Chains A and B, each alone.
Chain A
Amino acid sequence: MVLEVLEPGLLSTIQDGGRDAAHLGVPGGGMCDRTVREIVAWLLDTDDPVAVEMTLLGATFAVRESCVVGVVGADLGGEVVEEGRPVPPGTTALLHAGTTLRFGAARDGARAYVSLAGGIDVPEVLGSRSTCLAGGFGGFHGRPLRAGDILRPATAQRLDLAGRKWPGLASGGLPEPGVTPIRVALGPHVSDVGADALDGLLGTDWTVDPRSDRMGLRLDGPPMPGGARRELLSLPMVAGAVQLPPGGAPIVLLADHQTVGGYPVPLVVSSVDIPRLAQLRPGDRLRFDGVTIDEAFRLGMAELWASKDVEDLFERSLAKGTA
């Protein structure tokens, strides 16, 4: 045994890149803030990052065997209690047997991630180790972590990975103070919700409702017309879809969203801003800024060129003979 959960925090689940089984009704899942994947991969020298995703209030672990952990995402004030040693996001740390790793309340974003050098030993189910809360499978026995659960690395310990520091931000999704701008393109039902609803969506500073979860961010704002002007047939949903239920309070879909839905989708968040949604806390505010689909594409390209995946893109282009 390596790490034993003493207190699980608000919601701590094991997540990786998610699974591809939406045609069976299975949510994609995976880390809500996908920008942390490459950071976990770099910090812990792995091609296949997996981590415990902690939400708003972090977990406390007893260190049963010395190990190296990597911490990324929001700052939950991680520290080694007995040593008074902080373990800030974007770093790895050697933990000594007999100590306690404790995370507290979120200081900036909503979600923090902790992983072991050597990964976390849980089985792959339907192609992923992510916890599927809706189906009760994957991750750690298909459920959030509880006190007494024990996490072990999947491969040999890598104590040589201690003391690493990611050169950039510990997440690409951390919100700035004030109203977070979220860029949206028009969705498939923009003409079904009416101009008043669209004006309301784009002209309002929305507040994140406490009932938000991994399925979606529920937004509070002034009353506005909701629903569609015709009966919609259930259709497939995407992460980032802004649903407008009849009550008029929008829901923005996140990683564990239902695969299909019947509410109109007048707007879709550009992929580069979905991690920001994952890092907003209840009470935080956001506004929707309209962009075109082509601008959303260019935002993605800009993000790509700024990241370490440039080499990968170049190789793919070479393989296709387009570079």
Chain B
Amino acid sequence: MADRVRVEPYGDAAVLVTLGDTIDLDVNRRVHAIAQYLDAMDEGLKDFTWGSSVPAYASLLIPFDRWEVSAHEAAQYFQELIDELDIGREAEALSRTVEIAVRYGGEDGSDLLDVSERTGLTPSQVSEAHASVDYACFFLGFAPGFGYLGVLPAELELPRRGEPRTRVPAGSVAIAGRQTAVYPSATPGGWHLIGRTEAVLWDVQREPPALLAPGDRVRFVADRR
């Protein structure tokens, strides 16, 4: 048995379920398995009402009806429920592959030279390293359709920018820590921009609106047009 799942109050209207503190695909698959179980649970079997869970890397949030139960009681209930769950410990095979074409550097990746300097790699080594591995989509968050992708090769690992940009262009491909992502729309952002894609990460008219889903395998391909 790995570390016990920890369930604790997160304010008076939600609980936080924590499975670990690292970016780890096995842990993340268990997060999603718990989320799916709780989301699909029959209303008649529930002791009280709760809403859709919100998964992240190694934790998930469950909002509940604070007029039915206190956060301590809810935490105890979910603790027992989750402890009894038989969640597979191995990551399932990633479900499908999404390819994203990227123009690296230049105006499209205005931090590429900076990243190159700070990592000691040439700009083309940076883009090659970024496109050299398959990533997993761990979860969607931060902005509509924003997928947290990992794990970024260690030689590209950098802390976030000291000063976040007030506006990152839509389609920007960015890195931070051991993560990479595509900004679906123009938002503020603190990650390093190394390229840009034409892929539409979020379109509310599309079903589903998000291009990426947790469990997807994502591959970046250099677009040299």
Residues from chain A with a CB closer than 8 A to the CB of B195 are none
Indicate if the CB atoms of B11 and A241 lie closer than 8 Å: yes
Taking a contact as CB atoms under 8 Å apart, the answer to whether A238 and B10 are in contact is yes
Nearest A residue (CB) for B61: A236
With CB as the reference atom, state the residue of chain B lying closest to A240: B11
Distance of A191 Cα from B208 Cα, bound (Å): 40
Query: Are B185 and A136 in contact (CB-based, < 8 A)?
Result: yes
B12 touches A24 (CB 8 A): no
Q: Are A259 and B54 in contact (CB under 8 A)?
A: yes
In the bound complex, CA of A316 to CA of B54 (Å): 26
Q: Give Cα A301 to B69, complex, Å.
A: 10
Does B187 belong to the interface (CB within 8 Å)? yes
**CB-defined contacts of A233 to chain B, threshold 8 Å:** 21-23, 56-59
The number of chain A residues with a CB under 8 A from chain B is 46
9-residue interface stretch from A55-63, A66-74, A291-299: A291-299
- A138–B202 Cα distance when bound, in Å, is 14
In chain A, residues 195-242, which have Cβ atoms closer than 8 Å to a Cβ of chain B?
232-238, 240-241
Inside 8 A of B72's CB, which chain A residues have their CB?
Answer: 293-294, 297
Q: Is the CB of A25 within 8 A of B70?
A: no
Q: Is the CB of A236 within 8 A of B16?
A: yes
Minimum CB–CB distance from B21 to chain A (whole Å) comes to 6
Closest-CB distance, B199 to chain A (whole angstroms): 16
In this complex, what residue of B is CB-closest to A317?
Answer: B68
**Closest Cβ–Cβ distance, residue B154 to chain A (whole Å):** 15
Residues of A within 8 A of B14 (CB): 238
Whether A270 lies near B145 (C-beta < 8 A) is: no
Mask of A231-257 contacts with B, CB within 8 angstroms, 1/0? 011111110110000000000000000
Task: Please give 18 more A-B residue pairs, beta carbons under 8 A apart, in addition to A23-B139, A293-B12.
Answer: A22-B61, A23-B35, A23-B53, A25-B140, A25-B143, A134-B143, A135-B202, A135-B204, A185-B12, A188-B10, A233-B57, A235-B18, A235-B61, A236-B61, A238-B10, A238-B61, A296-B71, A300-B12
What are 17 A-B contacts defined by CB distance under 8 Å?
A21-B52, A22-B52, A24-B140, A25-B143, A25-B210, A125-B204, A126-B204, A135-B202, A185-B9, A185-B11, A235-B16, A241-B11, A270-B12, A271-B11, A293-B11, A294-B72, A313-B67
